[in-house]
Homo-oligomer: A and B are copies of this chain.
Amino acid sequence: MFVLITYDVSTVEKAGQRRLRRVAQACKDYGTRVQKSVFECQVGRSEWATLRQRLLDESSPVEDSLRFYFLDETAVGKVEHHGAGKPKDSNAGHSLLKEMSLVSSPSSLMNPAVRQTGPN
């Protein structure tokens, strides 16, 4: 399954900065960072159950916001990226963006999975 994770973690206090690091690390362990607070994860159901619980455990239900979007193949095939920013972190595996980054530019612009513009 393909899960898009977006989060806002409050970093007003040091505890929040620690939560932010831990939430990001959990996402990094399973997926690819595509923006500062946006990760794309291609995971199996049991992996997702583990990651989801870890994110809930590491975040504050009062101060932080987590959103999970479940995309099917059609939606994954339509993702548009514009401008700067390649994945900064990834796991060993499966990510859409990982695949994209393996295609050398400029042919990556034509990758059917992600339409990408900009100077990457």
Contact = CB atoms under 8 A, between A and B. Distances in A.
Please tell me how many copies of the chain the complex holds.
2
Interface residues of A, number: 39
A83 B68 contact: no
A66 B79 contact: no
A4 B79 CA distance: 10
A21 interface: no
Given A35-B37, A38-B6, A65 B80 contact: no
Among the interface residues A34, A64, A72, A118, which one has the most CB atoms of the partner chain B within 10 A? Answer: A118
A72 B69 contact: no
25 contacts: A6-B6, A6-B34, A6-B35, A6-B38, A34-B65, A35-B37, A38-B67, A56-B82, A59-B83, A61-B83, A61-B84, A61-B117, A61-B118, A62-B118, A63-B84, A65-B81, A65-B84, A66-B80, A66-B83, A67-B79, A68-B82, A69-B78, A70-B75, A71-B75, A72-B74
